[in-house]
Amino acid sequence: MKPLFSFLYGTLEFKGLSSFINRLMLLGLMFLVDGYTLLQCASVMGGVSSLTLTVSAALLGALIGGSSYHRYSIKLRSKISAGIYPRREFIHISALLPGLVLMALPGLGSSCIGFLLYIPPFRTAAGKIIYRRWESGFQDLYSFQRASED
């Protein structure tokens, strides 16, 4: 006897779906912890002070991350123009972008994780993980940029 939803097995990968749901739940848990720490900081320091601290961390993160991103994007363009595959720059940029997003989100936990992605050893380690996962996409991007320059 066939299982009830066997027609879905070919189109829906349950392993991929469960992995996605687990990651979504982890992200939701991070938001809950961030909200809780923000409320605790507000009860200790006051609402305005904790909000000022959160906004200051986001602005500082955007400033630092934006300048790093700009520097690596210039290096990326120059290497692509020279015909050199910019693996190192792809690694750094692929870790800087999630760091920028995490620093922009309100909360202590996401800001700490985002700040860790700005520190070079952590940025390189996280960037290598992201690069390995999306290596073919980066190679396609490089090929597209090379073709558009010609």
Phi-psi region of 116 (alpha: psi -120 to 50; beta: other; left: phi over 0): alpha
Whether the predicted pLDDT of 128 surpasses 90: yes
pLDDT value of residue 13: 52
**How many C-beta atoms lie closer than 10 Å to residue 33's C-beta?**
14
Give the model confidence (pLDDT) of 83-97 as tens digits. Answer: 899 999 999 999 999
Stated pTM of the model: 0.72
pLDDT value of residue 9: 46
CA 120 to mean position of chain CA atoms: 15
Whether the predicted pLDDT of 10 surpasses 70: no
Output phi, psi for 16, to 5 deg. -65, -40
Task: Band the pLDDT of 7: cuts 50, 70, 90.
Answer: very low
- How confident is the model over 29-37, as a mean pLDDT? 85
Three-class SS string for the chain? CCCCCHHHCCCCCHHHHHHHHHHHHHHHHHHHHHHHHHHHHHHHHCHHHHHHHHHHHHHHHHHHHHHHHHHHHHHHHHHHHHCCCCHHHHHHHHHHHHHHHHHHCCCHHHHHHHHHCCCHHHHHHHHHHHHHHCHHHHHHHHHHHHHHHC
Whether the predicted pLDDT of 29 surpasses 80: yes
